[in-house]
């Protein structure tokens, strides 16, 4: 049972694939502003050989909202997911924010992670911030909008990249004729420093098999990050996918799945 220092996590929603496949379950964790639905196609592919659970992390998708958004809390949510289903261990794949949550779980509870895959993120603090995107979404006036294009037009000034705007707009839902965001923008704004950072884990390490997959056009995994990766994940190897940016799994899905399946 969790101690007072490690409270029981939130119950996360998920998409499931490969229900008839035995063996160690495979958890798939999305990045900031994402959801399990972003991984649906890859989850189906992986479901041919693995029992896959693509999770909605806290304050995202259909999972519960909470006022705080830290990696230790996300690791506690993942631990609860495993405990609630009686899973002793799982293989874990995480992209960006989900990759940091996966790393935190492996470092805090190494015995519960059989294998670890981290997509385009390192166990370090970054200097960039996604706060402007949160601010743009919070500033959009949803009251009175009847079409998604009206909200999209409001985001254009703060989020000029159409592809990024389309990604953020996946979080816009309409119920009973009214639009609302299905992500907890207040929690993301309050927790942004923690999200772009990484907890001080001291000398903690995960010795299990670990694969880092980076995008060749991304700057989220660079040679400068190698010491931090080696310090906390001494068994890790890194593979870079050419002609891919930060969303390596979406931009080069075949190359990504090939690397992933070979490792798993």
Active site members:
96, 186, 246
Q: Determine the 3-state secondary structure of 63 from DSSP.
A: coil
**Cα separation of 225 and 245, whole Å?**
17
**Cα separation of 189 and 145, whole Å?**
24
Start-end of H helices in 66-145: 71-84, 97-108, 131-139
Residues 6+ apart with CB under 8 A from 216: 240, 241, 242, 243, 244
Backbone angles phi, psi at 179, to 5 degrees: -85, 150
The residue to which tokens 């959009």 are assigned: 140
Q: Determine the 3-state secondary structure of 87 from DSSP.
A: coil
Q: What is the CB neighbour count within 10 angstroms for residue 210?
A: 23
Within the chain, strands assigned E span 14-17, 26-29, 52-55, 90-95, 113-119, 172-175, 178-181, 210-215, 236-241
Q: Determine the 3-state secondary structure of 238 from DSSP.
A: strand
């Amino acid at each position: 049972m969790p101690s007072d220092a490690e409270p029981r996590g939130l119950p996360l929603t998920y998409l499931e694939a490969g229900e008839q496949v035995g063996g160690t379950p495979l958890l798939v964790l999305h990045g900031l502003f994402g959801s399990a639905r972003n991984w649906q196609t890859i989850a189906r592919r992986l479901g041919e050989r693995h029992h896959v659970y693509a999770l909605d992390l806290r304050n995202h998708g259909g999972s519960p909202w909470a006022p705080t958004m830290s990696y230790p809390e996300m690791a506690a949510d993942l631990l609860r997911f495993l405990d609630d289903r009686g899973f002793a261990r799982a293989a874990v794949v995480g992209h960006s924010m989900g990759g940091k949550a996966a790393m935190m779980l492996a470092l805090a509870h190494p015995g519960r992670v059989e294998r670890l895959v981290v997509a385009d993120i390192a166990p370090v603090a970054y200097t960039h911030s996604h706060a402007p995107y949160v601010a743009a979404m919070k500033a959009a006036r949803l009251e009175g909008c009847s079409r998604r294009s009206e909200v999209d037009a409001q985001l254009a000034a703060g989020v000029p990249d159409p592809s990024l705007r389309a990604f953020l707009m996946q979080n816009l839902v309409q119920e009973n004729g009214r639009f609302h965001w299905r992500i907890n923008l207040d929690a993301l704004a309050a927790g942004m420093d923690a999200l772009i950072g990484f907890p001080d884990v001291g000398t903690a390490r995960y010795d299990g098999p670990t694969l880092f997959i980076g995008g060749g056009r991304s700057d989220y995994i660079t040679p400068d990050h190698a010491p931090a990766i080696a310090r906390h994940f001494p068994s890790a190897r890194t593979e870079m996918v050419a002609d891919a940016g930060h969303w390596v799994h979406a931009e080069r899905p075949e190359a990504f799945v090939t690397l992933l399946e070979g490792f798993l």
